[in-house]
């Protein structure tokens, strides 16, 4: 019977040990068989494939003391210190002086909860019932090592309290046990002989002919080899590279810029009022540093904000503040790069784009992160029209694989007319992917730009979620090596 299984010498030794132990953990099994634990488990998995052994895995919850828990285990809980230190009604103020406001506050809360004392008119009144609590007994039972709930011998409520007080932490510990099957016992009963085996022939064996008398370790040609994954770019990076290639092929120039921008370039140059909600702390990362204002544009932008400059615009009114415009921020959009590029290159034609990171004070959830990539682009030339903008964006989305594209009217402080591009996704319907429009004259004229400027800012991460079939934006940044290995390569 044993020849049918073609067992290696390690498998045979392990099977003999399993007959003796019947059921053992990896360490016990390895010691009994005289092997390393890793070698023993490798043989155990091979035996399991043949149905001669069974490996059972389980997860055990264990608890460990935190640093604060260790301190309280040796010194006593705050409520124990306080109750042991008073013999009668004691003013709360006195406890704060004797211990500390924090310790006294924690202690009095737990004194009331445990029924050890009452608080009346600022006085701590002991009840006389301050026996050792289950939480204190549990802390003593740790004795410097992790414990299961059974070893701590307390209820789930006590453990929940210790976790809430951050005196202990919960961990999961995986365990394995290996047992012999009925078929494995039959193989043992049929007789096992252990011989020295070789897995590879060397030159000495060939020269001497020794290999003829040696037993070779069996090789299972049906064993599935370990999957091999070729090197490749991150799925998100592949999509970014695809977007970059599309615009380069359309004749655009890629631009880069600093992450830290002055409020002047990030907001003011785009005709965004200085009291706009987007400038508030909940949307923008403000920095303590400042930047000098560009002298050639400063006065023109100021005039445009206050009264509309030399145009028929009324501006925003009020007084434009140089102090606010000087303040540095982490750029909230990459439009700060393109508007500066246009100011430095006011003569047509200009076709430029940027794919880079922007920053906003967003709460992290499935569709928002404080850092995100934005695809920004501008076209400036004579006789540019709104229809040129729609055609350019439609061409981009078609090249990205979206057949149905439409545009809804939108509003943005620095473009008019404005639209929001949408693509149709099976199962989701129409999905909005950014904003676009023609720069207002209030944006272009103060910077010396005399020709129409088509502009857009597209959400790269949202587009990536659609292409990769993800429902959570955070998955784009996960460190799941298995997901990265198995992700399909986009066709560029």
Percent of the chain's residues with pLDDT above 70: 95
Per-residue pLDDT of 271-325, as tens digits, reads 888 888 777 766 888 888 989 999 998 899 999 998 888 888 888 888 989 889 9
Q: Is residue 87 part of a domain?
A: no
CA quadruple 461, 420, 266, 382: dihedral positive or negative? positive
Task: Decide if 402 is inside a domain.
Answer: yes
CATH number, domain at 276?
A: 3.30.930.10
| Residue 268 belongs to a domain | yes
Place of tokens 């060397």: 202
76: left (phi over 0), alpha (psi -120 to 50) or beta: left
Judge whether 206 lies within some domain.
no
The range of the structural domain enclosing residue 337 comes to 237-486
| pTM of the predicted protein model | 0.56
Rounded to the nearest 5 degrees, what angle is found at the Cα of 63, between the Cα atoms of 57 and 66?
A: 145
Let me know: does 238 contact 308? Beta carbons within 8 Å.
no
pLDDT at 6 over 80: no
DSSP 8-state secondary structure symbol assigned to residue 252: P
**Distance (Å, whole) CA 216 – CA 460:** 57
pLDDT the model gives residue 228: 81
In a domain, 175, yes or no: no
Q: Is residue 320 part of a domain?
A: yes
What is the C-alpha to C-alpha distance for residues 451 and 444, in angstroms, rounded to an integer? 8
Residue 3 has pLDDT above 60, yes or no: no
pLDDT for residue 492 is more than 50: no
* Number of folded domains that form the chain: 1
Q: Which of 92-101, 188-197, 368-377 has the lowest mean pLDDT?
A: 188-197
Residue 124 counted as domain residue: no
Phi-psi region of 270 (alpha: psi -120 to 50; beta: other; left: phi over 0): alpha
Is there a domain that residue 200 lies in? no
What's the DSSP call for residue 136? H
164-210, pLDDT tens digit by residue?
888 888 888 788 888 888 888 888 888 777 666 677 788 888 888 87
Least confident segment among 63-67, 97-101, 456-460: 97-101
């Amino acid at each position: 019977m044993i020849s049918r299984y073609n067992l290696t010498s390690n498998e045979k030794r392990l099977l003999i040990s399993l007959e003796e132990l019947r059921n053992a953990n990896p360490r016990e099994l390895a010691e009994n068989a005289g092997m390393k634990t890793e070698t023993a488990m490798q043989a155990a998995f091979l035996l399991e494939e043949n149905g001669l052994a069974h490996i059972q895995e389980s997860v055990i919850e264990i608890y460990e003391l935190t640093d604060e828990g260790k301190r309280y285990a040796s010194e006593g809980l705050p409520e124990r210190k306080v109750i042991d230190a008073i013999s009668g009604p004691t003013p709360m103020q006195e406890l704060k002086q004797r211990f500390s406001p924090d310790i006294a506050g924690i202690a009095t809360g737990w004194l009331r909860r445990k029924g050890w004392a009452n608080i009346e008119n600022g006085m701590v009144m002991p009840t006389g019932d301050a026996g050792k609590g289950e939480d204190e007994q549990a802390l003593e039972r740790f004795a410097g090592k992790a414990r299961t709930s059974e070893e701590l011998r307390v209820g789930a409520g006590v453990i929940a309290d210790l976790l809430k007080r951050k005196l202990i932490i919960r961990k999961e510990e995986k365990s394995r046990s290996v047992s012999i099957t009925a078929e494995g016992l039959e193989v043992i009963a049929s007789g096992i002989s252990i011989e020295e085996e070789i897995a590879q022939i060397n030159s000495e064996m060939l020269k001497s002919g020794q290999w003829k008398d040696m037993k070779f370790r069996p090789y299972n040609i049906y064993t599935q080899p370990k999957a091999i994954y070729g090197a490749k770019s991150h799925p998100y990076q592949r999509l970014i590279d695809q977007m970059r290639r599309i615009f380069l092929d359309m004749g655009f120039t890629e631009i880069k810029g600093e992450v830290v921008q002055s409020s002047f370039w990030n907001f003011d140059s785009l005709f965004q009022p200085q009291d706009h909600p987007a400038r508030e702390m909940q949307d923008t990362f403000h920095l303590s540093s400042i930047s000098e204002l560009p002298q050639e544009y400063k006065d023109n932008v100021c005039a445009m904000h206050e009264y509309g400059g030399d145009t028929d615009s009324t501006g925003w009114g009020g007084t434009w503040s140089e102090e606010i415009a000087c303040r540095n921020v982490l750029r909230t959009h990459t439009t700060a790069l393109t508007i500066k590029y246009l100011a430095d290159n006011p003569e047509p034609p200009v076709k430029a784009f940027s794919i880079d990171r922007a920053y906003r004070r967003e709460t992290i959830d499935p569709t928002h992160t404080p850092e995100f990539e934005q695809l920004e682009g501008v076209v400036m030339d004579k006789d540019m029209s709104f229809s040129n903008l729609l055609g350019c964006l439609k061409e981009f989305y078609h090249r990205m694989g979206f057949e149905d594209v439409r545009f809804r009217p939108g509003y943005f402080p620095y473009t008019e007319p404005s639209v929001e591009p949408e693509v149709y996704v099976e199962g989701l319907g129409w999905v909005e992917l950014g904003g676009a429009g023609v720069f207002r004259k209030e944006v272009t004229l103060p910077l010396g730009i005399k020709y129409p400027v088509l502009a857009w800012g597209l959400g790269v991460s949202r587009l990536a979620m659609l292409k990769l079939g993800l429902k959570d934006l955070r998955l784009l940044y996960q460190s799941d090596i298995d997901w990265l290995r198995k992700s399909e390569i986009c066709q560029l």
